[in-house]
Amino acid sequence: MSLFSPRTHASVKSSLSLPAASSWQKKAANSLSPKHPRAAIPPWLINTGSLIMMGLLVLLSLSIGVADFSWSGILQSLISHSANSDSSLLLVSRIPRTIAIILTGIAMAVAGMIIQVVLKNRFVEPSMVGATQSAALGLLVVSLLFPASALIVKMSVATIAAVGGMMLFMLLIHRVPPTDFLMIPLIGIVFGGIIEAITTFIAYQTESLQMLSVWQFGDFSSVLAGRYELLWLTGGLCVLAYIIADKLTIVGLGDNIALNLGISKRQVTWLGVGMVAMMSAVVVVTVGMIPFIGLVVPNIVSRIMGDKLRRSLPAVALLGASAVLLCDIIGRSIRYPFEVPVATVFGVVGTVVFLLLLLRAPAQE
């Protein structure tokens, strides 16, 4: 499947006289491109709108909760320069939770964009290539064997397990023809299901199902100050993804183009795989699995802004954060004062969107 817009292909071919895109890329591009051209929207306008929307959702997220909270109490605390129940609640619970939601949304959306570029397929994301399931398996094993190990040790083992799972998945799809772009996510779903079944079996045999459920369903209800700071690591990885965005873009254009431009496809690919694995591991360790963020958000942004990563990554990050914030607000509101996990809310929405993407592509061929 072509990852990049026709304008990008045209500019590369005209300026560098490089080989044209392969036939499978043209076929996939024709099947997924809209039939009528859309008016180009300036990236700054999209990013500004996304930032304003995220700001409004942040204020709403800070205001919603079971505990009594009022902004007037915060104002009184600022005027009197003394802490009260409202300021303590804001600093200990509401702000850490909101920051964790934003970082998680950004990390999973950017990770989805990276893995789609690496695999040249718009229908994959970390939970469809075995990354999050392998991270949960590694986390379960290290928790059973070394229950007193430090959090950084658990995260390291989960990262190694995620990399191993992604390597195994890439070996499985190595012989799949690139034209079967719908076969890759289907193989990924089956592969992830097998790993999840093995993890559940181990947890059942060791009576650890309750501990495993914490990692399998993304939930922010237990996020407090001191329990989410590991997510800042994903923010650094997202900055790194923006720095190497041009190299990822070239790798996504095809092997011949990357070779002619002097880009090491192997190095960039494994760097991207390692970043996706670490992001997935950190999110699973901190808040649990949240599926479909890396599938839905990059596809929405790419259809609006095209596929040049340096231009679209900020929009992907902002939309990912806003999507998780919105789902968290819905989860806290529909059964107030109880909470529905974010993974459940986003899973329902993501499943519908993913099925629409699967059904829409063949209809336009």
Domain boundaries of the chain, sorted by first residue: 6-12+23-29+44-63+84-363
- pLDDT of 40: 59
Task: Output the pTM of the full model.
Answer: 0.82
Mapped to the 3 state alphabet, what secondary structure does the chain carry? CCCCCHHHHHHHHHHHCCCCCCHHHHHHHHHHCCCCCCCCCCHHHHHHHHHHHHHHHHHHHHHCCCCCCCHHHHHHHHHHCCCCHHHHHHHHHHHHHHHHHHHHHHHHHHHHHHHHHHHCCCCCCHHHCCHHHHHHHHHHHHHHHCCCCCHHHHHHHHHHHHHHHHHHHHHHCCCCCCCCCCHHHHHHHHHHHHHHHHHHHHHHHCCCHHHHHHHHCCCCCCCCCCCCHHHHHHHHHHHHHHHCHHHHHHHHHCHHHHHHCCCCHHHHHHHHHHHHHHHHHHHHHHCCCCCCHHHHHHHHHHHHHCCCHHHHHHHHHHHHHHHHHHHHHHHHHCCCCCCCCHHHHHHHHHHHHHHHHHHHHHHCC
Ordered per-residue pLDDT tens for the chain, 365 residues? 444 444 444 444 444 443 444 443 444 444 444 443 444 577 788 888 889 999 999 999 888 877 777 777 778 877 877 777 778 888 888 899 999 999 999 999 999 999 998 888 888 889 888 899 999 999 999 999 998 888 888 888 998 999 899 889 988 888 887 667 788 888 988 999 999 999 999 999 998 888 888 888 888 888 888 788 889 999 999 999 999 998 888 887 777 787 788 888 888 888 998 999 999 989 998 888 888 899 889 988 888 887 788 888 999 999 999 999 999 999 888 888 788 888 889 888 877 877 776 676 544 43
> Tens digit of pLDDT for each residue in 286-322?
888 888 899 889 988 888 887 788 888 999 999 999 9
Q: What is the CATH number of domain 6-12+23-29+44-63+84-363?
A: 1.10.3470.10
